Each structure stands twice: as structure tokens, then as C-alpha cells.
Chain A
Amino acid sequence: MLELSALFHGFAVVLTPFNLLLMMIGIVLGVIIGVLPGLGGANGVAILLPLTFTMPPTSAIIMLSCIYWGALFGGAITSILFNIPGEPWSVATTFDGYPMAQQGRAGEALTAAFTSSFIGALVAVIMITFLAPLVAQFALQFGPPEFFSVYLLTFCSFIGMGKGSPFKTLTAMTLGFALAAVGMDTVTGQLRLIFGFTDLMRGFDFLIAVIGLFGIGEILLSMEEGLSFAGKTAKINPKVVFETWKKLPHYWLTSLRSCLIGCWMGITPGGATPASFMSYGVAKRVSKDGDKFGTGQIEGVIAPETAAHAAGTSALLPMLALGIPGSPTAAVLLGGLLIWGLQPGPLLFVEQKDFVWGLIASMYLGNLAGLIIVLTCVPLFAAILRIPFSIIAPVIIVICAIGAYTVHNAMLDIWFMLLFGVIGYVFKKLDYPLAPLVLALVLGDRAEDSFRQSMLISQGEVSVFFSNWLVGGITALSLVMLFWPLVSRLIARLRGA
């Protein structure tokens, strides 16, 4: 029960008035970010990151992770009331959430969504509390080949588990690696891929990419759809809340299943979006009211919301324990660690106990605070969406520009942001996935370092990635993931024969 005492120590770290205040600010900002089109968890956190440079790291991560929780909650509001998913992971929530709102059951749908989000997150945090220290301890024995094989696993699962074309995933991912290579080579000090432009020496910062790809790209997409918000009114009163809560225990099996799907998809870098779709799909297939899904079934709200929140939360486990983020937002938080001078990786649990356990404790409190805030303030947040798009859009572009500038105080970065915005718009429309691009951009240097170190150890022999059972096992698993589409087809054929 070492974890429990560490956790209580974490609560002691969090429970200062300053940290609690930051937590509240984080949640409220996060919900607003989640509700607004163009601002989401990843770029919202990226934009606000520079404001935390001077804060103590623990306070900073508490605020930023609370923005993340808030954004997860906020996505559900727009899906249910406006049929506009504020975040990609809440697309599946629109299927049954909006019909419920149309039938005048908006309060019920919102309560169900928020409560299941909370439960999903809670289960994921409990898992993190007990599993992350074990994983970190185990990872302390890792050398460069092991780390590289874990990176390999991360990226191979993107290719094998992705919904779209595996080659598009591969292209997006390798583009991310190539962008990460631009600038000074960390080992030899040589300048790479800058073609004489000294401004490129710093390389492409992934924060700029995140702000452009997700922020500007999203605005361009929303503009194309010519947004006309026609929302349902939100009224939540305590009576509706309690009546919905009375119904929820009937769906315990759906919740449990969705939690498991979410946790699994969050740890392997599937992320919240596929988790929510998968959970909705499974619930539809298994439920006895399956054919009524899409007409306003409360189960159709519970399943995706639970899974999305569980996945979004458990994406922080590999980030904390291994230094490998499971989602773009976790990647931005990881970038924060580097900026605050902390070295991500398994040693974090040994050297930065206050930081790690403070963060984990704040996940418990942050999600509880989030649930209370969204349940009580829904009409307020919904009102934000009634501000016309022609005011919101330029303000968001200005916020993105400021965010891009503050990362390095470089004017050129604002141009890059715009460029990434166009790339984000085109890639989204052509089904090139953005998450692998961002993760490759973040992890590029570190993946390359571990690859080169492994190569140095083995004097250029690739067999080092099979040199013992651990690294060999992970590498083999990566290859299975990589060829999973082929493998699963083969299995299906064998079964058919």
C-alpha cells in the first residue's frame, strides 16, 4: 500500500489554496475551450503553456491537466445541445445525445454524459495510481534498445490500429519525424535540413504545429460548414440529476465495458476518439435495445462518454511512467515537463515524487470539481456558443497567433502556425491522421537518440532489438501491430476455410 501513502502525500501537495484556485481556473477554462470550435484540449493547453513558465511545475501541471479534464467535459455539452461535436471524441455522443435533447431530455442526457465521464476518468485514475509506479519501476531497467522498441510499438500500433489507410498514417508519421529532424542534430551538432535558413536552426516546435493543425485547421473546417448554431436549451435541475442518477446503475455493465475499452485504448496510443466509437459500437451490438440506438438511448450516451474520458485519462499513464504520451494532449503536457526542467521517463517517479503524486491526486480532485462545475453551470457554458461565429473566429485566430508567438518569442512561428493550419485543413479532409504526426514530432529526437545509442551499442547490428526476451518481445509485438490488418485478414480466412 505504498501507493496509498504516496497518494495521500499527493493530496497534501494539491490541497493548498493556490493550487485549488488554479484547479478551478483550469476546469472553467477547459470547459470553455472544449465548447469553442477551433480550440480543443491539445491546442488549448499548448497556447496556455507559456503562461505557466514561471509557475512551480506542480502548480503548472495541475492547471494544465485540469484544462484537459475541462475540455473533455466541454465536448459533451456542444454534442448534446447543438449536435456539433466540440471535440473529435464527442462525435459518438451526438448520435444519441442530440436526439435526447430534441425530445426535451437534454438535462437527462447531459447528466448521464457528465456522470459517465466522471466514472470513466475515476476508473482510469485508480488504474494509474496502482499501475503507473509498477510500470515505471519495471522501465527503470530499460536501456536504449528497450526504449526504442517501446517507441516502435507506439508508432506501429498507430499504423495497425488506425481506421483509415495505413500508408496515409505512415506518411503523416514519417513527416512528423522529418520535421523533428530539422535543426541542430543533438548528437553531432550538425545542422540538418535547414538549407541555409538560419531561422530554421531551432527546428519546428511541436507546440506551433499543434496550435496550427488543430486550431487554425479547425476554424477553416468550421468555416466551410458555414456554422449556424441552432441549439436546444439546457436546463438542469437537481431533480433531473437525481432521477438520472437513479437510472444509471442499471447500465453498470455498459459502463464497466466502456471503462475497459477506454483504458486499453488510452494506454496503447489509440486515444479517446477511436475509444468512444468502439465503445458505442460494442454497446450497440451487445445491448438488447441495440436497434433503437440513434434515437435517443441513454446507453448510447453513457458508452462513448465513459470510454472517451477513460481513454483521455489513461493516456497519461505511459506519459508519466515511460515518457511516451498516449495522445496529442498528453504530448503537449510532456512538452511542458521538458520546459519546466523535468526529465520525463521512469525516473520521474523516483526523483519528482511531489510532482507525480501531486498530479495524480489532482486528477481525482479535478474530475470531481469538473463534474460539479459542469452540472451547475451548463447554461452558462452553452451561452458561449450563442456568440456569433464572426466574433468567435477572429478572436480564436488572434489567440492562436499569440500562443504561437509566446512559445519562442519568434515572429516566424506565427507564419508556421498559419502554414500548419492549411496542412491541418487539407490533411483532415484527405483523412491523413494528425495524432501520429504530432507524436512523431514530439518524440522524434528521443526516438532517434535511442535508435542511435542502440546502434552504437551493437555496432550497427539491427539484431540488438532481439537481443533479449524483453526487447525482443516488444519488437515482435510491434511487428504484429504493424501488420495487424494483414494478420487479422489471414485469421479470418483461416477460420472461413
Chain B
Amino acid sequence: MDHDKDSTTGAGISMRATELVVAALLFVAGAVVVYDSYRLGSKWGSDGPQSGYFPFYIGLLICISSGINFAQALMARRMDPEIFVAWGPFKLVLTVLIPAAVYVLGVKYIGIYLASAIYIALFMAWLGKYSWLRSIAVGVAVNVSFFLMFEVWFKVPLYKGDLDPLRFLGY
């Protein structure tokens, strides 16, 4: 029983802090919408409602509702569960998220096919502890089949990257 308690109240990012930060960010987003709508004109123009008319009230609603969310999180005596995510699982999430961001950066320069092949191979080798040979084989096989499917059969060209290393294929 004690062990169970540990896993829900142990160290991690606090639920309350996350609620507060998210509500605050949304409030700022709402304020930005209100500001820009006001700049564009949120009133009644000579030819009807101006461009900012509708978004102005939407922004106002975002501010109000996230303000209430903020207050509710602040007042709540206890959160259930108390932590948003424990450090252990959070690390796992980051091991997916950070490589994914690097992958998207890779897509920009070397294109979808090459970046994807490298990404799948590295992911398998590092997180899945597969042998390099196997990882590379899967990465390449998956992307060759994507290449055939998109470029050859459906004629949907995908992003080849700023450097376009696959130029020699002629697609």
C-alpha cells in the first residue's frame, strides 16, 4: 500500500504548478488575440462588423475562462493526482520528444526519406537495443517502401530537404 502511495506522490512535476502555468499561458494567448483584434478594429465599421469583431470576444472568453481555471487550480486544496508526471516517465517522454525535434530539423536539411531512415534506425538501436544491422535494415526498408508509395505510385512528392541529397534519383 505504502509503495502505491509513493508512486503517486513521489518526486515529479507538480500538478498544481502545471495547471497554473498552462492557465497563465492560455491567458496570455487570449490577451494577444484581444490586442490584435483591437488593433484591427473590433467594432462596427461603415460596412458592418470589422475584422477583429468576432476574434475580440473569443480572446476575451479565453482570458475569462483561463482566469477561472487559474483561480480554481490555486484554490483547490488538493490535486488528484498530485503530480503531473514523475521524473522517470518524464525522462522517457523526453527521450521521444527531443529526438523527434532533431528529426524534424533533419527533415529540413536532408529531406523526409533520409532523415526518417536515420531516425528509425537510431531510435531502434538506442531505445530498443537492437543490433545496428537490424536497425538500419528496418529504417531503410520502411523508407524505400514510402518512397515507392509516394513518389512512384501516388505521385505525391515529399520534402527532399534544402540540401536535397537524393537528387541523383531524379525525383
Q: Are A426 and B93 in contact (CB under 8 A)?
A: no
Across the interface, name the chain B residue whose C-beta is closest to A414.
B104
Q: Which of A164-172, A243-251, A260-268 lies at the interface?
A: A164-172
Q: Are A455 and B48 in contact (CB under 8 A)?
A: yes
A390 within 8 A of B: yes
Question: A-B pairs with CB below 8 Å: how many?
Answer: 163
In the complex, how many angstroms separate the beta carbon of A51 from the nearest chain B beta carbon? Answer: 6
User: B residues within 8 A CB of A395?
Assistant: 120, 142
A141 within 8 A of B: no
Chain B interface SS verdict (over half): helix
A452 within 8 A of B: yes
* Complex Cα spacing A448 to B89, Å: 42
In the complex, how many angstroms separate the beta carbon of A193 from the nearest chain B beta carbon? Answer: 5
* Complex Cα spacing A220 to B90, Å: 9
A188 within 8 A of B: yes
Q: A165-B72, A192-B37, A398-B119 known; A216 and B100 CB under 8 Å?
A: yes
Interface 1/0s, chain B 24-59, versus A by CB < 8 A?
Answer: 001001101100110010001000111111110011
Q: Are B116 and A411 in contact (CB under 8 A)?
A: no
Q: Are A402 and B51 in contact (CB under 8 A)?
A: no
User: A residues within 8 A CB of B82?
Assistant: none
* Complex Cα spacing A74 to B63, Å: 40
Across the interface, A405 reaches (CB within 8 A) one of B30, B52, B112, namely B112
A177 within 8 A of B: yes
User: A residues within 8 A CB of B148?
Assistant: none
Across the interface, B92 reaches (CB within 8 A) one of A50, A226, A406, A409, namely A226
Task: Point out residues on A near B: beta carbons under 8 Å.
Answer: 50-51, 54, 165, 167-168, 170-171, 174-175, 177-178, 181, 185, 187-188, 190, 192-193, 195, 216, 219-220, 223-226, 388, 390-391, 393-395, 397-398, 401-402, 405-406, 409, 411, 414-415, 418, 421-422, 425-426, 429-430, 432, 448, 451-452, 455-456, 460
Beyond A178-B33, A224-B85, A448-B54, 8 additional pairs, beta carbon < 8 A? A51-B156, A181-B33, A223-B89, A397-B100, A398-B120, A398-B143, A401-B104, A409-B159
**25 A–B contact pairs at CB < 8 A?**
A51-B154, A165-B69, A175-B29, A177-B55, A178-B55, A178-B62, A193-B37, A220-B96, A223-B89, A223-B96, A224-B85, A224-B90, A226-B89, A390-B130, A391-B128, A398-B146, A402-B112, A406-B156, A406-B158, A411-B108, A414-B107, A425-B93, A430-B22, A430-B84, A455-B49
